[in-house]
């Protein structure tokens, strides 16, 4: 039973990490706590659901399409809401309030147009299947979620650390004015990052929707609290940290439910958050005053 619980922990942790990656990217580069992130999670899932149902696409095509749509919407919302605030160099609290308002608006809009009842991908779309390894059972979607989380971390690290685009993004994150003087199109870089984070959020929504069969407008809202815990424990803007913290949180929750009591499951997540803020306020891999992306 312990082996199965460890697998459960890895899957749940990978789910959290996957969700948190786009969130932490957005925060690390743009320095904005954008609360609309939870909406992209649901947008991706609904877009993929729609494309499998209305267009009859297979899931292999619906997943990138869901990510693409979520990414485009993320760029649109970011441009609409935050361009003026950036120009005015408004404090972080202003962006927090603006995106909070937008989130409530978007959730209400989605609930009104899509309904609040939960949906799932048609069973025919994806033959989940599961593998039995001794006493352990692993589903295909679960392997997919874990694989996607690891692959995304590697790909994003390579992009940010090892490419010219990544260099430009980091330069904008470091000092937008100096970057502009060096000929970097700051607005474009922000849009690229918005798109990436929205697309990651959307893809996470599709995979989580596939695994847990619970697609509804508020599915991201529940994840946002965990997302906050993950990016704070992992360090704001730290991609490796998000993966590590996601897994840590997943293990902590599952093992608490398995060996202590399921009543304390949620408590563990937030105890971990508070403990991190006490002992390592910059997160697991945190270093003082260094810009990371």
Cβ-contact 246, 230 below 8 angstroms: yes
- The pattern of x and - marking residues 50 through 89 that bind another protein according to CB under 8 A reads ----------------------------------------
Q: What is the DSSP letter of 183?
A: T
- Residue 26 or residue 138: which is nearer to another protein going by CB? 138
Cβ-contact 13, 262 below 8 angstroms: no
Residue 130 contacts another protein per CB under 8 A: yes
Least distance to another protein, CB of residue 183, Å = 46
- Residue 189 or residue 252: which is nearer to another protein going by CB? 252
Beta carbons within 8 Å of 241's beta carbon, 6+ residues apart? 24, 231, 233, 234, 235, 283, 284, 285, 286
**Which of 55, 158, 214, 267 is close enough to bind another protein by CB under 8 A?**
214
Q: Identify the burial level of 91 via C-beta atoms within 10 angstroms of its C-beta, where 0-12 means exposed, 13-18 middle and 19 or more buried.
A: exposed
Least distance to another protein, CB of residue 93, Å = 28
Q: 99-128: which residues touch another protein (CB under 8 A)? A: 117-120, 123, 128
Cβ-contact 17, 284 below 8 angstroms: no
Nearest to 150 by CA among 240, 83, 231: 240
Strand runs labelled E in the chain? 130-133, 136-139
To which residue do tokens 């990371």 refer? 292
Cβ-contact 132, 119 below 8 angstroms: no
Least distance to another protein, CB of residue 112, Å = 10
Residue 258 contacts another protein per CB under 8 A: yes
Task: Provide the 10 A C-beta neighbour count for residue 185.
Answer: 13
- Residue 33 or residue 254: which is nearer to another protein going by CB? 254
Cβ-contact 38, 30 below 8 angstroms: no
Least distance to another protein, CB of residue 39, Å = 16
**Which of 102, 224, 257, 269 is close enough to bind another protein by CB under 8 A?**
257
Residue 263 contacts another protein per CB under 8 A: yes
**Which of 50, 218, 270, 285 is close enough to bind another protein by CB under 8 A?**
218
Residue 43 contacts another protein per CB under 8 A: no
DSSP reduced 3-state for 233: helix
Least distance to another protein, CB of residue 224, Å = 11
Cβ-contact 265, 256 below 8 angstroms: yes
Q: Which residues bind another protein (CB under 8 A)?
A: 1, 4-5, 8-9, 11-12, 15, 117-120, 123, 128, 130, 132, 137, 139, 208, 212-214, 216, 218-219, 222, 253-255, 257-258, 261-263, 265-266
């Amino acid at each position: 039973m312990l082996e199965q619980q460890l697998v459960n922990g890895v899957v749940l942790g990978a789910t959290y990490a996957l969700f948190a990656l786009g969130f932490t990217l957005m925060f690390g580069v743009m320095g904005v706590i954008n609360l609309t992130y939870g909406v992209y999670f649901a947008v991706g899932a609904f877009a993929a659901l729609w494309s499998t149902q209305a267009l009859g696409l297979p899931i292999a095509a619906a997943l990138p399409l869901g990510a693409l749509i979520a990414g485009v919407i993320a760029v649109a919302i970011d441009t609409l809401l935050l361009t003026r605030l950036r120009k005015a160099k408004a404090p972080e609290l202003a962006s927090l309030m603006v995106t909070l308002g937008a989130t409530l608006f978007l959730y209400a809009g989605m609930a009104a147009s899509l309904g609040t009842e939960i949906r799932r991908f048609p069973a025919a779309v994806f033959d989940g299947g599961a593998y039995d390894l001794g006493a352990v059972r692993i589903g295909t979607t679960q392997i997919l979620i874990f694989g996607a989380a690891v692959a995304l971390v590697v790909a994003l690290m390579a992009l940010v650390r090892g490419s010219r685009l990544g260099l430009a993004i980091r330069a904008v994150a470091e000092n937008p004015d100096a970057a502009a003087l060096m000929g970097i199109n700051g607005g474009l870089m922000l849009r690229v990052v918005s798109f990436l984070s929205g697309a990651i959020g959307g893809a996470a929504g599709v995979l989580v929707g596939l695994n847990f069969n619970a697609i509804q407008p508020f599915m991201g809202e529940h994840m946002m609290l965990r997302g906050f815990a993950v990016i704070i424990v992992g360090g704001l803007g730290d991609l490796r940290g998000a993966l590590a913290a996601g897994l840590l949180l997943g293990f902590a929750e599952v093992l608490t439910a398995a060996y202590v009591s399921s009543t304390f499951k949620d408590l563990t997540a937030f105890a971990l958050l508070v403990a991190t803020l006490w002992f390592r306020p910059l997160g697991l891999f945190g270093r003082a005053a260094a810009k990371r992306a």
